[in-house]
């Protein structure tokens, strides 16, 4: 079975800093994979390389069997890779609906159809009441949901979520978690960077741990939670999966 | 060969003066990340001021520095408080258009107040050229150049050695971090803008003996200043000096060997070449031009 | 998350009062009616001049806005496109007998090519760096025109023979000119509205507001921006040709100056960047005002009208950054909610 995404010995340096150092993994279609690690571990850089925002220093990214390292972000999007931004980047002069409609335009033929499609996605993430709201008024939590909506509206094969839970209340976290968990069944493979551990550790069947640019663990949450290297680098103590 | 040498020498001197006029612009950009489109009109205002002091007090225009520099500093404070500071947290086109509007306002107020006549100060330094090695130079040019170099050195010293200077450098590198470290960033903005304005005042005093003043004089010089600032690297003081000298030499040579009008065209083309191939300029930080300013 | 009704509210199919993206409003129709009336009513000579200039400048402001407002490419060098259009069609007319009706397309195309090259070359530049590059490029064109006397007549300029005929696009009647300029305005407005409501418009707005996010959503920002600049330049160039046919005289100071470039930017800024109706409102407010001030104060206090202009711009930018159009929108929202 060919993996949907394969990362081979990927390295990205900034001057003397090894942001990503020889990372290799593969993700199959339909997987839901968590990616955790302390700040500065290289998660955002990894996302940026996969999604085309920056080029790798060395190594390869293979998507749907095609080597794509160094592609442009819009090429990634058109090929089926969506991503959210850790610090939300909404289109400030467009309404919430229009923000998502732009993404929907990738697959819809008319603006009207894109708007309808966007409305549906926004309802899924719980933003149905904010369709015409100007983006400037939204809180961070709402903006994060907007990021998720924009990513889903692209109808991607692979989505890279970047800390989408920040700013959400516990019940909102529950809702968002079920949404994310349901995505693989819709044909959307998920890689998920998250700091809100209880959400991710209980939902993702597989978790990768990044530390100082290196992949130090890759496996089931239960195993990881006991892994001394992971505990030392990130968890701090044995994390119970309650 | 001595013609070329003389041209280069004269170009060097006038280039230093152009640089002095541009240092304020590059400093303001480096710290506040705004381009003051009224920069030329600040110069025009200061030149009228220097002219007036000379005419009505009979002083040598160089002495008018005492009045003009503080006056321009205050003017800078005024403009910053009323126009620049309120525009800083809005989309950057606001400050662009606001300073543009100020530019038009000032040009036309000058037109109404002083008419379109070209005004000069009478030559006060004897009118003879001094010889400087194998080359000749008017004393006004030598003084102007000396002031430019002294100013650059003084600014560099201030930036390295004083707390204010360090605060400014910190703000340039990372305004948010600086603020978190206790640097009063809004005040740094104010001081920098006003200082930039004062520097323009200084340059006006040394330029008045060399150029005439009229309401739209700013437009000529601001375009030169933009080219110098870009060439030298936005935010770099030494870059402004270097850029100014390059421009002065280019202008001097091309005015002589080609036509004076084409001289201007050359440095716009130089500007575009720099923008295309090395937008950070000679001494600026790489990648800056692709980030532009924070929106 | 429940399965809430997924369809976004479709707007009721009735006429909107105020201008909105994607549809025509009563306001726009009313304005059109007024414009037609101004043409047909044959006001006195000097007023007709004002009307002609107002329509032309509205069209030019709209053209600039496609790049500056929609795409976020603020340019202080649009005089280059204006001048290229004007000089191209004029040189073709005067030296080669080509009718301006064809010449204006060629002028527009030339301007578009120049703009496209410029945008590609300045692709990585943002903010003030881009603005200054447009300024520099326009100055290069102006100085070239000033010195290439064989082609452009240099500082002495070019004059078009005032022999009236339709083929020459020279008219005795100012009413015909007014109709011509109104036609230009209507066409540019239609193009603007079409772009605004289209998927291309979405791409432009997104690329303008956040280039990285737009890229991540499948938009090629460089292509979008270049297209916008090209279109803007094309329409501006055509406006230049029309100007040449009206004014019958061109010289670099009149059609290639930085002051002209600033004017192209100021009208949309005052009227409301990024909207379709904004530049029109900007021109309708400012052009007659500045003509009247110039006529009234001209001799007595040269520059007063421009000084007022400058002062107004500062105030508008600081307190009404979305311009006249923005203020109107806010008023209409308040009126609508108070009438609920």
Q: Is residue A241 situated within a structural domain?
A: no
- Choose between A15 and B284: higher pLDDT: A15
Q: Is residue A158 situated within a structural domain?
A: yes
pLDDT single digits (tens) A92-111: 989 999 999 999 999 999 99
Residues of A at the C interface, defined by Cβ within 8 angstroms = 51-53, 72-74, 76-78, 82-83, 85, 89-94, 97-98, 101-103, 105-106, 110-111, 114-116, 118-120, 122-126, 128, 131, 150, 154, 175, 178-179
- Choose between A42 and A155: higher pLDDT: A155
Give the distance from residue C332's alpha carbon to the nearest chain B alpha carbon, in angstroms: 24
E strands, chain C, in order: 158-159, 249-250
What is the predicted pLDDT for the residue at C299? 61
Long-range (24+ apart) CB contacts under 8 A made by C251-255 are: C251/C153, C251/C155, C251/C156, C251/C157, C251/C158, C252/C83, C252/C142, C252/C145, C252/C146, C252/C152, C252/C154, C252/C155, C252/C157, C253/C155, C254/C157, C255/C79, C255/C82, C255/C83, C255/C86, C255/C87
Here the ipTM equals: 0.90
Contact in structure between C224 and C200 (CB atoms under 8 Å):
yes
Residue C9 has pLDDT above 60, yes or no: no
Tell if the CB–CB gap between C206 and A102 is shorter than 8 Å.
Answer: yes
Distance of CA B71 to the CA centre of its chain: 16
Confidence at A239, pLDDT banded by 50, 70, 90 = low
Confidence at B285, pLDDT banded by 50, 70, 90 = low
Contact in structure between B83 and B102 (CB atoms under 8 Å):
yes
Confidence at B286, pLDDT banded by 50, 70, 90 = low
Three-state DSSP at A27 gives strand
Three-state DSSP at A191 gives strand
What is the predicted pLDDT for the residue at B16? 93
Q: Is residue B41 situated within a structural domain?
A: yes
What is the predicted pLDDT for the residue at C205? 95
Give the distance from residue A216's alpha carbon to the nearest chain C alpha carbon, in angstroms: 29
Tell if the CB–CB gap between B109 and C273 is shorter than 8 Å.
Answer: no
Query: Averaged over B33-56, what is the pLDDT?
Result: 91
Q: Is residue A72 situated within a structural domain?
A: yes
Neighbours of chain A (3+ CB pairs under 8 A): C
Query: Averaged over C278-290, what is the pLDDT?
Result: 90
Asked which of A163-172, B35-44, C20-29, C294-303 is least confident by mean pLDDT, the reply is C294-303
What is the predicted pLDDT for the residue at C6? 45
Spell out which residues of chain A touch residue C23, defining contact as CB-CB under 8 Å.
none
Phi-psi region of C154 (alpha: psi -120 to 50; beta: other; left: phi over 0): left
Residue C340 has pLDDT above 70, yes or no: no
**Which of C73, C209, C262, C318 is the best mutation test for B, with the most CBs of B within 10 A?**
C318
Spell out which residues of chain C touch residue B85, defining contact as CB-CB under 8 Å.
none
What is the predicted pLDDT for the residue at C206? 95
User: Chain-wide mean pLDDT for chain B?
Assistant: 85
Asked which of B275-284, C162-171, C174-183, C251-260 is least confident by mean pLDDT, the reply is B275-284
Q: What is the pTM of this model?
A: 0.88
**Domain of A206: which CATH number?**
3.40.50.300
Residue A235 has pLDDT above 80, yes or no: no
Q: Is residue B39 situated within a structural domain?
A: yes
The CA-atom distances, in angstroms, between A62 and each of A8, A25, A44, A65, B238 are: 8, 11, 18, 6, 47
Closest partner residue to C215 (CB to CB) among A74, A90, A122 is A74
The CA-atom distances, in angstroms, between A9 and each of A27, A60, B201, C131 are: 14, 7, 59, 42
Q: Report the alpha-carbon distance of residue B33 to residue C127 in Å, rounded.
A: 10
CA-based Rg of chain A, rounded to a whole angstrom?
18
Q: Report the alpha-carbon distance of residue A153 to residue A228 in Å, rounded.
A: 40
Confidence at C3, pLDDT banded by 50, 70, 90 = very low
Q: Report the alpha-carbon distance of residue B270 to residue B261 in Å, rounded.
A: 15
DSSP-derived secondary structure for B170-239: HHHH-HHHHHHTT--HHHHHHHHHHHHHHHHHHHHHHHTTTS-B-TTHHHHHHHHHHHHHHHH-TT-HHH
Q: What are phi and psi of C164, to 5 degrees?
A: -75, 130
Tell if the CB–CB gap between C126 and B272 is shorter than 8 Å.
Answer: no
Give the distance from residue B102's alpha carbon to the nearest chain C alpha carbon, in angstroms: 6
Tokens of C108: 């527009």
In 3D space, the residue among C262, C137, C54, C319 whose CA is nearest the CA of residue B107 turns out to be C262
Count the domains in chain A. Answer: 1
DSSP for residue B80: I
Q: Is residue A242 situated within a structural domain?
A: no
Tell if the CB–CB gap between C199 and A114 is shorter than 8 Å.
Answer: yes
Confidence at B292, pLDDT banded by 50, 70, 90 = very low
**Which of C10, C195, C202 is the best mutation test for A, with the most CBs of A within 10 A?**
C202
Spell out which residues of chain B touch residue C302, defining contact as CB-CB under 8 Å.
111-112, 116
**Residue in the block written with tokens 């009234």:** C296
User: Chain-wide mean pLDDT for chain C?
Assistant: 87
Q: Which of B65-69, B167-171, C184-188 has the highest mean pLDDT?
A: C184-188
Spell out which residues of chain B touch residue C318, defining contact as CB-CB under 8 Å.
83, 86-87, 94, 98
Residue A167 has pLDDT above 80, yes or no: no
The CA-atom distances, in angstroms, between B90 and each of A193, B86, B94, C312, C318 are: 32, 8, 6, 18, 9
B274 contacts: CB under 8 Å, gap ≥ 6: B230, B231, B281
Neighbours of chain B (3+ CB pairs under 8 A): C
Residue A230 has pLDDT above 90, yes or no: no
Spell out which residues of chain C touch residue B97, defining contact as CB-CB under 8 Å.
265-266, 269, 313, 317
What is the predicted pLDDT for the residue at C27? 86
Residue C267 has pLDDT above 80, yes or no: yes
Q: Is residue A187 situated within a structural domain?
A: yes
**Domain of B255: which CATH number?**
1.10.3470
How long a stretch of residues is chain B?
A: 295
Neighbours of chain C (3+ CB pairs under 8 A): A, B
Share of chain C above pLDDT 90, in %: 47
CA-based Rg of chain C, rounded to a whole angstrom?
21
Report the DSSP beta bridge partners of residue C145: none
DSSP for residue A219: E
Tell if the CB–CB gap between C303 and B93 is shorter than 8 Å.
Answer: no
Spell out which residues of chain C touch residue A73, defining contact as CB-CB under 8 Å.
212, 215-216
What is the predicted pLDDT for the residue at B137? 82
Residue C8 has pLDDT above 50, yes or no: no
Angle at which helices C79-96 and C221-247 cross, to 10°: 50
Spell out which residues of chain A touch residue C209, defining contact as CB-CB under 8 Å.
90-94
Angle at which helices B139-161 and B185-207 cross, to 10°: 170
pLDDT single digits (tens) C51-80: 999 999 999 999 999 999 999 999 999 999
Q: Is residue B125 situated within a structural domain?
A: no
Per the structure, the complete domain to which residue A70 belongs is given by 5-235
The neighbour count for residue C276, using CB atoms within 10 Å, is: 28
Per the structure, the complete domain to which residue B223 belongs is given by 2-115+132-291
Contact in structure between C306 and B108 (CB atoms under 8 Å):
yes
What is the predicted pLDDT for the residue at A242? 42
DSSP for residue A231: I
Strand A58-63, strand A5-14: pairing? antiparallel
Strand A17-27, strand A5-14: pairing? antiparallel
**Residue in the block written with tokens 């800024």:** C269
**Angle, alpha carbons B280-B281-B284 (nearest 5°):** 60
Give the distance from residue C60's alpha carbon to the nearest chain A alpha carbon, in angstroms: 24
Asked which of A43-57, A208-222, B181-195, C162-176 is least confident by mean pLDDT, the reply is C162-176
Q: How many CA atoms lie within 13 A of B55 on its CB side?
A: 10
Three-state DSSP at A13 gives strand
Spell out which residues of chain B touch residue C140, defining contact as CB-CB under 8 Å.
265, 268-269, 272
Asked which of A166-170, B53-57, C225-229 is least confident by mean pLDDT, the reply is A166-170
What is the predicted pLDDT for the residue at A237? 59
Residue C225 has pLDDT above 90, yes or no: yes
Share of chain A above pLDDT 90, in %: 46
How long a stretch of residues is chain C?
A: 340
Tell if the CB–CB gap between A111 and C217 is shorter than 8 Å.
Answer: no
Give the distance from residue C331's alpha carbon to the nearest chain A alpha carbon, in angstroms: 17
Share of chain C above pLDDT 70, in %: 94
How long a stretch of residues is chain A?
A: 242
Asked which of A139-153, B183-197, B261-275 is least confident by mean pLDDT, the reply is B261-275
Long-range (24+ apart) CB contacts under 8 A made by A61-64 are: A61/A5, A61/A6, A61/A7, A61/A8, A61/A10, A62/A3, A62/A5, A62/A6, A62/A7, A62/A8, A63/A4, A63/A5, A63/A6, A63/A158, A64/A2, A64/A4, A64/A157
Residue A225 has pLDDT above 90, yes or no: no
Angle at which helices C221-247 and C199-209 cross, to 10°: 110
Three-state DSSP at A60 gives strand
pLDDT single digits (tens) B235-263: 788 889 999 998 898 888 887 887 766 76
Closest-CA residue of C relative to A175 is: C1
Tell if the CB–CB gap between C218 and A103 is shorter than 8 Å.
Answer: yes
Confidence at C11, pLDDT banded by 50, 70, 90 = low
Q: Is residue B49 situated within a structural domain?
A: yes
Query: Averaged over A30-56, what is the pLDDT?
Result: 89
List the A5-14 sheet strands across, edge first: A17-27, A5-14, A58-63, A66-67
Q: Report the alpha-carbon distance of residue B213 to residue C337 in Å, rounded.
A: 55
What is the predicted pLDDT for the residue at C127? 79
Three-state DSSP at A159 gives strand
For chain A, the 3-state helix, strand and coil shares in percent, each to the nearest 5, are 40, 25, 35
Tell if the CB–CB gap between A175 and C216 is shorter than 8 Å.
Answer: no
What is the predicted pLDDT for the residue at C4? 45
Count the domains in chain B. Answer: 1
Residue C258 has pLDDT above 70, yes or no: yes
Contact in structure between B93 and C323 (CB atoms under 8 Å):
no
**Residue in the block written with tokens 């749907």:** A64
Residue C305 has pLDDT above 80, yes or no: no
Q: Report the alpha-carbon distance of residue A144 to residue A147 in Å, rounded.
A: 5
User: Chain-wide mean pLDDT for chain A?
Assistant: 88
Q: How many CA atoms lie within 13 A of B250 on its CB side?
A: 22
Distance of CA A77 to the CA centre of its chain: 13
């Amino acid at each position: 079975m060919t993996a949907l995404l394969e990362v081979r010995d990927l390295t990205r340096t900034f001057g003397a800093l090894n942001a990503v150092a020889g990372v290799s993994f593969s993700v199959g279609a339909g997987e839901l994979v968590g990616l955790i690690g302390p700040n500065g571990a290289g998660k955002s850089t990894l996302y940026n390389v996969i999604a085309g925002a920056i080029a790798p220093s060395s190594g390869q990214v293979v998507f749907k069997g095609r080597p794509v390292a160094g592609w442009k972000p819009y090429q990634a999007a058109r090929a089926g890779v969506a991503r959210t931004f850790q610090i939300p980047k909404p289109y400030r002069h467009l309404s919430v609906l229009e923000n998502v409609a732009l993404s929907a335009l990738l697959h819809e033929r008319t603006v009207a159809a894109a708007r309808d499609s966007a409305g549906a996605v926004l309802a899924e993430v719980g933003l149905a009441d904010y369709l015409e709201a100007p983006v400037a008024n939204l809180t961070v939590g709402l903006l994060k949901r907007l990021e998720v909506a924009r990513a889903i509206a692209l109808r991607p094969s692979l989505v890279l979520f970047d800390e989408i839970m920040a700013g959400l209340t516990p019940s909102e976290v529950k809702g968002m978690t079920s949404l994310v968990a349901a995505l693989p069944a819709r044909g959307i493979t998920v890689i998920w960077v998250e700091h809100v551990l209880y959400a991710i550790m209980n939902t993702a069947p597989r978790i990768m741990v990044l530390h100082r640019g290196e992949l130090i663990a890759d496996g089931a949450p239960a195993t990881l939670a006991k892994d001394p290297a992971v505990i030392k680098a990130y968890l701090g103590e044995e994390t119970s999966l309650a | 060969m001595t013609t070329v040498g003389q041209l280069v020498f004269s170009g060097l001197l006038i280039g230093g003066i152009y640089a002095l006029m541009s240092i304020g612009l590059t400093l303001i950009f480096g710290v506040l990340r705004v381009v003051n489109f009224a920069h030329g009109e600040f110069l025009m205002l200061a030149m009228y001021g220097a002219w007036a002091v000379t005419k009505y007090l009979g002083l040598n225009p160089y002495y008018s520095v005492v009045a003009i520099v503080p006056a321009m500093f205050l003017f800078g404070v005024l403009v910053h408080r009323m126009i620049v500071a309120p525009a800083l947290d809005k989309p950057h086109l606001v400050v662009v258009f606001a300073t543009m509007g100020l530019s038009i306002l000032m040009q036309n107020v000058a037109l109404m107040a002083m008419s379109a006549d070209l005004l000069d100060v009478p030559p006060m330094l004897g009118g003879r050229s001094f010889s400087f090695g194998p080359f000749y130079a008017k004393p006004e040019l030598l003084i102007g150049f000396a002031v430019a170099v002294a100013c650059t050195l003084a600014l560099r010293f201030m930036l390295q050695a004083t707390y204010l200077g360090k605060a400014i450098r910190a703000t340039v590198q990372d305004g948010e971090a600086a603020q978190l470290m206790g640097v009063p960033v809004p005040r740094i903005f104010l001081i920098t803008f006003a200082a930039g304005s004062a520097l323009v005042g200084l340059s006006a005093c040394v330029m008045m003996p060399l150029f005439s003043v009229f309401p739209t004089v700013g437009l000529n010089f601001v375009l030169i200043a933009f080219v110098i600032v870009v060439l030298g690297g936005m935010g770099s003081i030494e870059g402004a000096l270097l850029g100014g000298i390059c421009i002065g030499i280019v202008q001097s040579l091309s005015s002589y060997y080609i036509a004076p009008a084409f001289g201007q065209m050359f440095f716009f083309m130089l500007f575009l070449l720099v923008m295309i191939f090395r937008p950070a300029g000679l001494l600026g930080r790489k990648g800056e031009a692709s980030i532009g300013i924070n929106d | 998350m429940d399965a809430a009704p997924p369809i976004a509210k479709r707007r009721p199919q009735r006429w909107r009062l105020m201008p909105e993206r994607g549809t025509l409003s009563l306001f726009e129709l009313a304005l059109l009616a007024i414009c037609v009336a101004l043409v047909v009513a044959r006001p006195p000579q000097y007023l007709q001049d004002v009307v002609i200039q107002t329509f032309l400048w509205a069209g030019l402001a709209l053209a600039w806005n496609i790049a500056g407002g929609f795409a976020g490419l603020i340019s202080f060098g649009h005089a280059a496109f204006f001048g290229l259009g004007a000089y191209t069609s004029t040189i073709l007319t005067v030296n080669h007998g080509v009718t301006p009706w064809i010449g204006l397309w060629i002028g527009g195309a030339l301007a578009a090519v120049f703009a496209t090259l410029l945008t590609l070359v300045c692709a990585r530049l943002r903010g003030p760096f881009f603005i200054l590059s447009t300024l520099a490029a326009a100055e290069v064109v102006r100085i070239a025109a000033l010195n290439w006397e064989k082609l452009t007549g240099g500082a002495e300029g070019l004059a078009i023979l005032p022999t009236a005929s339709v083929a020459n696009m020279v008219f005795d009647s100012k009413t015909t000119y007014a109709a011509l300029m109104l036609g230009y305005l209507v066409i540019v407005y239609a193009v603007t509205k079409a772009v605004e409501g289209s998927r291309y418009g979405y791409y432009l707005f997104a690329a303008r507001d956040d280039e990285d996010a737009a890229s991540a959503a499948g938009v090629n920002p460089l292509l979008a921006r270049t297209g916008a600049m090209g279109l803007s330049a094309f329409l501006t160039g055509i406006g230049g040709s029309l100007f040449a046919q009206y004014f019958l005289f061109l010289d670099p100071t009149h059609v290639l100056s930085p002051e002209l470039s600033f004017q192209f930017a100021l009208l949309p800024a005052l009227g409301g960047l990024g909207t379709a109706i904004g530049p029109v409102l900007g021109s309708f407010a400012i052009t007659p005002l500045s003509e009247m001030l110039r006529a009234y104060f001209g001799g007595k206090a040269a520059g007063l009208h421009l000084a007022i202009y400058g002062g107004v711009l500062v105030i508008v930018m600081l307190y009404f950054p979305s311009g006249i159009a923005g203020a109107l929108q806010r008023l209409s929202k308040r009126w609508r909610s108070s009438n609920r």
